[in-house]
Amino acid sequence: MAKNDLRGVAVDELTPPDAAVELEILAAEIAAADAAYYQDDAPSLSDAAYDALRQRNEAIETLFPKLIRKDSPSKRVGAGVAAGFGKVQHCLPMLSLGNAFSDEDVAEFYDRIRRFLSLPANDAVDIVVEPKIDGLSISLRYEDGVLVRGATRGDGREGEDVTANIRTMDEIPQKISGNVPAVLEVRGEVFMSKADFLSLNQRQEDAGAKLFANPRNAAAGSLRQKDPAVTASRPLKIFVYAWGDVSGVDALGYGGDVDWPDQGTFYERLKAWGFPVNPYAKVCITLDETLALYQKLGADRATLDYDIDGVVYKVNRLDWQERLGFVSRAPRWAIAHKFPAEKAETILNDIVIQVGRTGALTPVAELEPVNVGGVVVSRATLHNEDEVVTRLDARVGDRVIIERAGDVIPKIVEVLKEKRTEGAASWAPPSVCPCPLKTTTVRPEGEAVRRCSGGMECPYQQVARLKHFVSRDALDIEGFGSRTIEAFWEEGVLKTPVDIFLLEEKDGTIDPKLEEREGWGDTSANNLFESIRRRRTTDLGRFIYALGIRQVGLTTARDLARAYGSVDVWMRQMIAIVEDPLGEAFQDLSDIDGIGPAVVADIVAFFGNPESRADLDQLASMLEINPVEQASNDTVISGKVIVFTGNMEAMGRSEAKAKAETMGAKVSGSVSKKTDLVIAGPGAGSKRKKAEELGVSVISEQEWLDLLSNKNDQLRLL
C-alpha cells in the first residue's frame, strides 16, 4: 500500500485538492481491502484499520460533499461475486449497517430517531439489542415453507448461490411450518465457533493445508466450497435476525405477508420455525439499558464461544422502521456499536524458530510482555517467513501493534516503521535448523513452509514427535507435559515413542529415578506409569495419527483405519507399496476417498524410511491396537443422526462418537429436526432442551451403553 502523507492531516485542515487526492486513494485502498475480504477470504487489513479508513472517507465526504466520487466506498457494500458460483440477484438488497464507536454516537442515534419521528426528547424508543456476530451474511429463501435457495451477500445486490452447501448445515431447517408466508427470505450470519475454528486449523495444519486467519474466514471458506461434502464436514452454525423478501412486501421490505408488529415478535416467530436466534437478543427501553447490555456483552465477549465484533441496535417497532427507511447504504433504524479492538503496542524482542514434528520451521515473535484486553501476551504467531519478510517486514527491535481476538493466538498486525531504530537489519529465514545438528533447511518451490532436512535425526523434530505422540487426539497419555518430555529427551531417557513404553521398566536405571525428582514423588510417577499402561491398548485411527506421518492428520488417519481395518493389514499393504510402487496396493491406497497423491507419497516415504519402519514395527508389537469394526448398516442406529451432549463418563466423547460412527450412525454437533437421538450426560443444557422441544428422543449415557450392547428394550427409543 502506497504511503499516504495526507493521512496524518486532520480532515478539517485538508484543502479541496488534497481532499480529492485522498478520497481517490481511500477508494482504491478500501476496494482492495474489500476484494481481499469478500472474494479471497483473506483480509489484508485488521477490522480496526479498515473501519478507520471508512471513517476517514466518510468524514472527508461530509466536509466536501461535492468531491464524493462515483466509485465512493460509501456507495458500495462489500465486493462482487467470486468466480465459480452461480449468481443470485437479491430481491431486496442486503445492506450493511452504519457504525457507532462511542456512547455519544449511540445517544446521537437515539436523538436522530426521535427527531425523524418527531418524538419528544427523552421519549422511550424500544430498541432490540443483540451481539453482532463476526461471520458471513447469508440469505435463505423459503417458498411454501421449503428451503429453495441459500445465497451469500456478495455486493449486497448480487450474491453467490450456495444452496447445496447451505443444505448441509444442520441448524438450518429444510422445511418450516406454522403460519409461514408463501415467500419468506430469512437472513442471518453463518459462523464457526472458536473451538471448532481451532480444531479445524489443527486438522488443516496436520494435512499441510492452508490455515485460516480467524473463525470468520474459516466460516466463509467453508461455506464457499465447490464441494458441498467439504462444507458438510465443517461445523458451521448460524444465528438469524432479519427478513428480506416476503410475499407481497414493498421496496422497503414491509407490508404484504409481514404480519409481525415488531422485531422482537419476528424473533419469536423465527424460533418457532426452528431457526437459531441469538440468546442475548433483548428489547431495551432506555439508552442506559442499551448501553448496559453493550457493556455486558463486551465483558462476556472473551468467554463467548463465537466471535462478536460489536452490538447491533434496531428500532423494535416495524411502523417506525418503515417510516425511518434507508439512507445510502444503511437503514436509519439500525446501527452497529463496534467494540474497540483488543490491541497493544510493544517491542518485538526476537524472532525465534519453532520446529514441528515434520520439520516445518515456524517463526514466532517474542515480545516485550504487554497486557492486551486483560491477558498478558509475550508471544505472537508469525505464520511463515513470507509473513515476516514480505507482508510485515518485521525486524528485531521494532515497535509493533499486536491484536488479540477471543481465543485466537495473538498476532502482529502492524510494524511501526516510523519508530524503527536506524540500521535495524531485516530478518532473513534461517539457512540452518536451530537444532544442535544445524542441518540445512529447504523450502521447496511453491511451498510456504521451510523445513529442516535432518529428518528423524533432528533433535527438535524428535521432541515435537514425542509431544505429538502423547497428545490428546493421538495416544492421549496424561502426565506428559511439554517440559517433562523436553527434560526426558535431553537426558536421553526418551528418544522415540518406543521409549515411552519402556519407561517403567527402565525406571530403576534412570538417575535420578522418576519419584526422586523434584516435584515428582511416588504418586506422580505411578500415575504416569498407570496412564502409559492404560494406553497400551488403543485404536487404529489414533495409532496412525500418533505416528506423525507428514500430512496424515486426524481425518486421514481415521480414513486409513476404516479402509484397512487392522494394523497388520495396513502395514502389510503399505510395505507392499514400498516393494511394488505402482502395484495393486498402491491403487487401493490411492482410491481411498480424501487421500490424494501427495498424502500417498508421504505415507510411502514413511514406510520406505528404515528408521521410521523400525520404530513402527516395535510399537505395533508392543501395543494392542484394536481393529476398526467395519461400519455396519444393520445396527439399531445405522443411518441415524445422533448428538452427544454433556459429559460422557464411561467412555470419552470422542470414543463414544467413534463407536456410533462404527455402528453406522452420523454424529452431529447440533440438535435439529433431523436429529434422531440425543445422548445427554451430566451437565447437558441447551441441546437437551432443544431436543425436548423438538420431540427428539433423549437418553442417558447408561441407556446408550445398553443400546450398544443390544438390549432390545431400548429399540423403541428410535
Q: Would you name the residues annotated as active-site residues?
A: 132
The answer to whether residue 433 forms part of the interface with Zn ion (CB under 5 A) is: yes
**Residues in Cβ contact with 421 at an 8 Å cutoff, skipping those fewer than 6 apart:** 397
The answer to whether residue 435 forms part of the interface with Zn ion (CB under 5 A) is: yes
- The window from 426-434, 499-507, 520-528, 558-566 that contacts Zn ion (CB under 5 A) reads 426-434
Contact 172, 670 (CB under 8 A): no
The rounded distance, in Å, linking the Cα atoms of 184 and 244 is 7
Rounded to a whole number of angstroms, the minimum distance from the CB of residue 352 to Zn ion is: 14
Q: How far is CA 276 from the centre of its chain?
A: 19
| Among 615, 601, 620, CA closest to 456 | 615
The rounded distance, in Å, linking the Cα atoms of 381 and 364 is 5
- The window from 3-11, 150-158, 429-437, 694-702 that contacts Zn ion (CB under 5 A) reads 429-437
The answer to whether residue 454 forms part of the interface with Zn ion (CB under 5 A) is: yes
The answer to whether residue 360 forms part of the interface with Zn ion (CB under 5 A) is: no
CB-nearer residue toward Zn ion: 172 or 458? 458
The rounded distance, in Å, linking the Cα atoms of 497 and 468 is 10
The rounded distance, in Å, linking the Cα atoms of 385 and 119 is 59
The rounded distance, in Å, linking the Cα atoms of 154 and 93 is 10
Rounded to a whole number of angstroms, the minimum distance from the CB of residue 185 to Zn ion is: 56
H/E/C letters for each residue in 591-618?
A: HCCCCCHHHHHHHHHHHHCHHHHHHHHH
Q: Distances from the Cα of 391 to the Cαs of 361, 414, 425, in angstroms?
A: 18, 9, 16
CB-nearer residue toward Zn ion: 449 or 671? 449
Cell 464436514 identifies what position?
233
Instruction: Determine the 3-state secondary structure of 589 from DSSP.
Output: helix
- The window from 94-102, 341-349, 448-456, 509-517 that contacts Zn ion (CB under 5 A) reads 448-456
The rounded distance, in Å, linking the Cα atoms of 377 and 411 is 10
The rounded distance, in Å, linking the Cα atoms of 307 and 204 is 20
Q: Which amino acid is present at 576?
A: A
Rounded to a whole number of angstroms, the minimum distance from the CB of residue 456 to Zn ion is: 10
The answer to whether residue 452 forms part of the interface with Zn ion (CB under 5 A) is: yes
CB-nearer residue toward Zn ion: 231 or 358? 358
Partners of residue 352 on adjacent β-strands: 364
CB-nearer residue toward Zn ion: 315 or 433? 433
The rounded distance, in Å, linking the Cα atoms of 312 and 435 is 51
- The window from 200-208, 455-463, 500-508, 671-679 that contacts Zn ion (CB under 5 A) reads 455-463
Rounded to a whole number of angstroms, the minimum distance from the CB of residue 433 to Zn ion is: 3
CB-nearer residue toward Zn ion: 314 or 450? 450
The answer to whether residue 43 forms part of the interface with Zn ion (CB under 5 A) is: no
| Among 116, 1, 19, CA closest to 58 | 19
**Residues in Cβ contact with 3 at an 8 Å cutoff, skipping those fewer than 6 apart:** none
Q: Interaction with Zn ion in 177-216: which residues (CB under 5 A)?
A: none
Provide the residue count of the chain.
718
The rounded distance, in Å, linking the Cα atoms of 169 and 389 is 39
CB-nearer residue toward Zn ion: 114 or 438? 438
- The window from 244-252, 420-428, 444-452, 536-544 that contacts Zn ion (CB under 5 A) reads 444-452
Total residues binding Zn ion (CB under 5 A): 5
CB-nearer residue toward Zn ion: 452 or 503? 452
Residue 379-418 contact track with Zn ion, rule CB under 5 A, x = bound: ----------------------------------------
CB-nearer residue toward Zn ion: 31 or 442? 442
The three grid cell numbers given for residue 55, joined into one nine-digit string: 471513517
Q: Give the DSSP letter of residue 306.
A: S
- The window from 258-266, 274-282, 304-312, 458-466 that contacts Zn ion (CB under 5 A) reads 458-466
Helix (H) or strand (E) holding 370: strand 360-372
Binding site for Zn ion (CB under 5 A): 433, 435, 452, 454, 458
